[in-house]
Structure 1
Amino acid sequence: MHITLRQIEVFSEVLKSGSTTQASQVLALSQSAVSAALADLEGQLGVQLFDRVGKRLVVNEHGRLLYPRAVGLLEQATEIQQLFQEDNGAIRISASSTIGNYLLPAMMARYRRDFPRLPLELSVGNSQDVIHAVADFRVDVGLIEGPCHVSELVSEPWLEDELVVFAAPDAPILSGPITAESLGSAPWILRERGSGTREIVDYLLLSHLPQFELAMELGNSEAIKHAVRHGMGISCLSRRVIADQLEAGTLVELTLPFPRLSRTLYRIHHRQKHISKALSRFLSYCTEA
């Protein structure tokens, strides 16, 4: 059996109008096409749905049995069509920790104020976690803190971010001038390998120090901030991550003998990923922010 929605639609319209002529005008079909669709439906069901009374078609007991189910099917089909016309599906985002914890919440809140019914799903990990999630189609788009070198992914510059080296207010390094030597001999507390922040810090900063003492690796920025605040070492994170602590004076920015440390944040998606209207709209909110 191969009943089509078009046949169900023809049946419903013929029932409402009482003739194939009027149904054909409503459906923008020829009268012969309407008659053929109705005859095909009756043939598949093995019953007549209408009694022929002159030129009129009068619904019979079979047609009355079918009609409420036909209406239900057409309503469900309309709902499916509207679902994808309006792009109401959940947007799945994966972001590295700095972006997911400190940038995206405000962007998501702004988006939800304008589109309160559209669901958003956010997962947070390090940059490698995000890259794997995008490559495996587990999320629609990824936001990471460094460049992506995976060939099947499209990587686009998104935002600029400043990195800050910081210490506790009473840290020993503050007792003298900040030099490459004093930075090299200080204990460093850094993000784990695989983190976008760690990759950029290794490239922009640590490679220029005469020596380097890694005191600790921690898996999130909050833990690093607390460790530095308690005098366990110095670190380097996004200014966005420590802005409140710098303003409160619980952490102190170190003036470096190097150029300003900055990096580009990237947006990534799979080359074969369809960018829906809802996803494109959400990304525009992120870009405007």
Structure 2
Amino acid sequence: MHITLRQLEVFTEVLKGGSTTQASQALSLSQSAVSAALSDLEGQLGVQLFDRVGKRLVVNEHGRLLYPRAVALLEQGNEIEKMFREDNGAIRVYASSTIGNYILPAVIARYRSDFPGLPIELSVGNSMDVINAVADFRVDIGLIEGPCHMAEVVTVPWLEDELVVFAAPDSPVLQQEVTLETLAAAPWILRERGSGTREIVDYLLLSHLPEFRLEMELGNSEAIKHAVRHGLGISCLSRRVIADQLAYGVLVEVPLPLPRLVRSLYYIHHRQKHLSRALMRFLQYCEK
């Protein structure tokens, strides 16, 4: 059986108008097209939906049974058309941890304020998780903290982000002049490999410290902040991540004998991914 919404639409208009002539005018179709659609529908159902009384079509018991179901299906079809006409589908976003925990909440709050009914599915992981999800089409858009080297993924620079080295206020590294040697000798607490922050820290900072002391690797920025605060070592994270702790003095920025540690944040999508109006609209909110 292959009943179409057009056939159901013809049926409901014939029922309301009592003739194929009025239905053809309401639907802007030829009378022959309306008659053919109605005949096809009755043929597929194997019943007559109307009694023919002269030139009038009077709905019978079969037509009365079909009518409420036909109206419900047509309403659902209209809802589907409206949904995609307005691009109201759920946006699937995967962000690396710094972005997902410290940047996106404000972005999503602004977006939901203007579009309260539009769903967003947000996942948070490390940058490699995000890249793999984008490459596998499991998400629509990814937001990462380091460059992506996959040929099938498009990488677009998004925001600038500053990394800072920090320590507890009474850390031994702050009791002397900070040099590359004293930094190398300090115990470091770093993000795990595969994290965008770790990749950039390795490139911008640790490459200047050929022999540094790695105390531990943690997969969570909050855990790193607490470990540093309790004197277990020093670390390097986005200024956005430790802004509150620096303001309250529970963590202290370590001055570096190096240029500012600045990186780009990126949004990524698969090269074959269609960027819908909804996705482009969300990215515009990311730029605000």
Q: Same fold (TM over 0.5)?
A: yes
More divergent stretch after superposition (221-230 vs 235-244)? 221-230
Aligned to 2:229: 229
Residue in 2 aligned with 1:51? 51
Is 2:273 the counterpart of 1:267? no
Q: Map residues 1-289 of structure 1 onto 2, 5 A cutoff.
A: 1-288=1-288
How many angstroms does 1:61 deviate by? Answer: 2.2
Structure 1: how far apart are the matches of 2:242 and 2:280?
30
Question: What's the secondary structure of 1:124's corresponding residue?
Answer: strand
Deviation at 1:266, TM superposition (A): 0.8
Task: Say which is worse superposed, 275-284 or 262-271, in terms of deviation.
Answer: 275-284
Distance 2:24 2:198 in 1: 67
Deviations 1:45-76 (CA, angstroms, capped at 9, x unpaired): 22222222222222222222221221122112
Structure 2 letter corresponding to 1:214: L
- 1:150 deviates by 1.1
Shift of 1:233: 1.2
Tell me the CA shift for residue 210 of structure 1.
Answer: 4.7
Amino acid at match of 1:281: R
Tell me the distance in 2 between the aligned counterparts of 1:261 and 1:27: 65
> How far is the alpha carbon of 1:100 from its aligned partner?
0.8
- Cα shift at 1:15: 0.9
Which 4+ residue blocks in structure 1 deviate beyond 6 angstroms? none
% of aligned pairs identical? 80
Q: How far apart are the structure 2 equivalents of 1:226 and 1:147?
A: 28
Structure 1: distance between partners of 2:273 and 2:76: 27
Question: How far off its partner does 1:237 sit?
Answer: 0.5
Answer whether contact 1:164 1:237 (CA < 8 A) is retained. yes
Supply the distance in 2 between the matched residues of 1:92 and 1:40 (Cα, whole angstroms): 41
1:40 is displaced (CA, Å) by 1.5
* Equivalent position amino acid for 2:281 in 1: R
Q: What one-letter code is carried by the residue in structure 1 that aligns with 2:28? A: A
Offset, 1:139: 1.5
Please say which of residues 96-105 and 109-118 is displaced more in the overlay: 109-118
How far apart, CA to CA, are the structure 1 residues paired with 2:210 and 2:80? 63
User: Aligned to 2:211, what secondary structure does the other structure show?
Assistant: coil
Count of residues paired in the alignment: 288
Unpaired segments ≥5 residues, structure 2: none
Q: In 2, distance between residues paired with 1:124 and 1:72? A: 39
SS at match of 1:259: coil
- The separation in 2 between residues aligned to 1:165 and 1:63, in whole angstroms, is 76
1:106 and 1:143 map into 2 onto residues whose CA distance is 15
Q: Deviation of residue 120 (structure 1)? A: 1.6
- Is the contact between residue 181 and residue 210 of structure 1 (CA under 8 Å) also seen in structure 2? no
Matched to 1:79, the amino acid is: E
In structure 2, distance between residues paired with 1:46 and 1:251: 79
Q: Partners of 1:47 and 1:166 in 2: how far apart?
A: 79
Amino acid at match of 2:195: S
Unmatched runs of 5 consecutive residues or more in structure 1: none
Which residue identity does 1:36 align to in structure 2? Answer: A
**C-alpha distance in 2, partners of 1:209/1:44?**
78
Q: CA offset at residue 182 of structure 1?
A: 1.3
8 A contact 1:47–1:62 mirrored in 2: yes
RMSD over aligned Cα atoms: 1.3
TM-score, length-scaled by structure 2 = 0.96
For residues 123 and 66 of structure 1, the distance between their equivalents in structure 2, rounded to whole angstroms, comes to 44
CA distance in 2, matches of 1:5, 1:210: 69
1:59-97: CA deviations, max 9, x gaps? 222222221221122112112222222333222111111
The amino acid across from 1:21 in the alignment is: T
